Structure formats: structure tokens, C-alpha cells
């Protein structure tokens, strides 16, 4: 059971392939005694980080259609291209501990990560109108008042490129 859990957790890490190879006895095609057939199989299913050019193209396409984007689109884009890590943040006088207001943390981190202008960020803020959680909404509404000057992630953004 512990080995299965370890394999599941390793898939999310950047060094998953090396760890699974270690579990497989160090052989690239070796058998893995858990949920994966082999380390080469894991290589085929673990998404490789996007090349900078691919990422730039995806960001450009996302930015071009901000006026038609929804909150779900922004969250999907973030999940496809970045890794979320709960981090504390502040927007104006709205504070959030790590893991609190996750939707706001993702949307604001995405905006900073792709360097949205205030006008572009306001378009994304308008798209976030369907945000179900009142606490996320409070942080996003505060952003509308403060702009990027009021957004602070003291331990780093909640998103990092994959």
C-alpha cells in the first residue's frame, strides 16, 4: 500500500521518472512494483514541461481572447500550464493564509505569471464573476480597487510554470 501511495505522489513531482526508475532497480525499462508497468511507461504519461516557445504561444492565445474567457477557462489554462502550490497572499487589506482563497490565488498568480496589464487583469476579473466562493470573490474585488500594486505573495506566486 505504501509503495502504491509513493508512486501516486511521485507522478506529481518533477523528478518522478528518476524516482520510479530507482524503485524499478535503476533500469530504464525495469519492472516497477507498483501502479506503473515500467519506468519507460511512466516517461510516456508524465507531461514534459512545455518549451518556452510553446508556452509563449499558449499565453498569447489566452491573452488574445480574454474578453471571451470565463473563470473556468482561466483555471483550466492554469492547470494545464502551471503547478499550483498553496501560498499566503495579500490583496489590499484582504489576507489569505496558504490554501485559503485558492481560486483567487490561482487567478492572481496567473495574472502576474503571464504579466497581464491592469486592463487585461480587469477583463479576467470580470470573467471571474462566476466565482462561487465569497472569500475568493472578496480578494478579486479588492484587486479591482488596488490593481497589481496591492497584490503581494510574500513566499512567491501560487503558480509556477510546468
Predicted confidence at residue 92, as pLDDT, reads 96
Asked if 14 and 62 sit in the same domain, the reply is no
| 153 in the same domain as 82 | yes
Task: Please tell me whether residues 28 and 70 are part of one structural domain.
Answer: no
Give CA–CA dist 35/15, Å, rounded: 17
In the chain (162 residues long), the average pLDDT of successive 10-residue segments reads 33 35 37 36 43 86 84 90 97 95 93 90 72 76 91 97 91
Q: What are phi and psi of 76, to 5 degrees?
A: -65, -45
Same domain flag for 102 and 152:
yes
pLDDT of residue 35: 36
Helix (H) or strand (E) holding 96: strand 94-96
State the Cα–Cα distance between residues 48 and 42, nearest whole angstrom.
Answer: 11
My answer on whether 141 and 109 are in the same domain is yes
Together in a domain, 65 and 91: yes
Taking alpha carbons only, the member of 98, 120, 102, 103 closest to residue 111 is: 120
Question: What distance in Å separates the CA atoms of residue 5 and residue 91, rounded to the nearest whole number?
Answer: 37
The reported pLDDT for the residue numbered 132 is 53
pLDDT of residue 130: 58
Tell me, yes or no, whether 76 and 113 share the same domain.
yes
Same domain membership, residue 98 and residue 41: no
CB crowding 128-160: b at 16 or more within 10 Å, else e: beebeeeebbbbbbbbeebebeebebeeebbbe
Which of 92, 127, 89 lies closest to 108, judged by CA? 89
| Same domain membership, residue 89 and residue 63 | yes
Domain check: are 139 and 59 in the same one? Answer: yes
Copy the grid coordinates of residue 93: 487589506
Q: Are residues 97 and 24 in the same domain?
A: no
Same domain, 39 and 57: no
pLDDT value of position 68: 81
Radius of gyration of the chain (CA): 19
CATH of the domain at 76: 3.20.160.10
Q: Which residues span the domain enclosing 82?
A: 52-161
Structural domain count of the chain: 2
Amino acid at each position: 500500500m505504501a509503495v502504491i501511495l509513493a508512486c501516486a505522489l511521485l507522478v506529481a513531482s518533477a523528478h518522478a521518472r528518476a524516482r520510479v526508475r530507482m524503485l524499478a532497480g535503476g533500469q530504464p525499462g525495469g519492472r516497477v512494483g507498483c501502479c506503473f508497468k515500467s519506468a519507460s511507461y511512466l516517461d510516456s504519461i508524465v507531461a514534459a514541461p512545455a518549451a518556452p516557445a510553446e508556452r509563449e504561444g499558449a499565453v498569447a492565445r489566452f491573452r488574445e481572447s480574454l474578453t471571451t474567457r470565463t473563470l473556468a477557462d482561466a483555471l483550466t489554462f492554469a492547470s494545464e500550464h502551471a503547478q499550483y502550490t498553496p501560498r499566503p497572499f495579500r490583496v489590499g487589506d484582504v489576507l489569505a493564509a496558504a490554501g485559503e482563497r485558492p481560486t483567487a490565488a490561482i487567478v492572481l498568480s496567473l495574472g502576474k505569471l503571464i504579466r497581464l496589464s491592469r486592463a487585461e487583469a480587469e477583463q479576467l476579473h470580470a470573467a471571474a464573476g462566476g466565482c462561487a466562493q465569497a472569500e475568493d470573490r472578496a480578494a478579486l474585488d479588492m484587486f479591482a480597487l488596488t490593481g497589481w500594486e496591492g497584490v503581494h505573495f510574500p513566499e512567491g506566486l501560487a503558480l509556477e510554470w510546468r
